[in-house]
Structure 1
């Protein structure tokens, strides 16, 4: 019996553009301190009425040491990382996501996306590290629990995988996610059911496949998984 595990990563791309700064300087002409008056007859230079000598106006200079390059929004780095990820340049995507973290050390989505990239590189320990950091920052991050659970499964630690996916479903219930998340919820049930198969908990596996189908009746993978389990006859033993 061979049942494929279906992973559906969710990528949310948001771009924020920051206005650039333009620096301008102006210089003013300094006033003269002598005036000349021409009288008919012999030209005579008449001293100007004594006035206070104006203080010299310092020239306006731009202190380049104080000009800083505008900081790029972390979301721009996230968008660049997503583009690299879509082209399967996973190492490059990690660099972009890490740039977002340098700007915002608590950017849980960046940690989560790095976890996905490491998963696709087959570096499971690193993937778990970054999924765990995302969870530390945002304990309600359903996708991070789901992703980490999948990694545990790939490392043959099926029980930890079940535990993480169960936690994801518990959070899902507590926050009462909108209907738009239901297909993702079905995916969690299907993947947990697949892990139950490896733990030889066949009734639990069947129950999860049926829950996935109840949420998404057109979920082909869950339908096929349930059929394969029922056709195997293992539930009759």
Structure 2
């Protein structure tokens, strides 16, 4: 998660808005290094005194920010919203939209509202395939961060750089492994053998590989690869 957002931060600094950030566009190599794919909808961000770019609304339903859908105004905060959705997908092992589930569980962002981050039932949303091999406090921290990314108003969402720093803090105070103690310029790729200090390294790695493989199949199995053009509020 941390390194994926660093990639988005790079594009933000470069004044590029990805515009269609979603789980199926994040590829992992054998070292768990993420690569963003499919830049077909990427746009150059606003320049000078401009705060946004006006454009036709395109993207994938379930990942596009509501303010972008309603106004067609594209900003770097549009990518921040999408990242918040992906954070919850990683935590829960669910896609943003799953029509094969009970009606009350089909829309991920609606379903998680029944499990407040600080509530006793929060753990019920976490992916059971993780087999409780995670830090609950870190999971709560990530969920809270996701909630800030999903603020309705774009101006209330954090900047990419702020999300990166918060992820570093969360990972640095948990047992899930982290780039703790390093400045932004010293960040290095995640070493999968160091993740899960309280677990056997090889067993932890196998669990993570299996989980990521299942999640990849789960996310990409039904979702359409083509892009969907969305018009104002005309969504299912």
Asked if Structure 1 and Structure 2 have the same fold, meaning a TM-score greater than 0.5 normalized by the shorter chain, the answer is no
Larger relative contact order (Cα-Cα within 8 Å, sequence gap ≥ 6): 2
The structure whose residues are more often helix, as a share, is: 1
TM-score after normalising by structure 2: 0.26
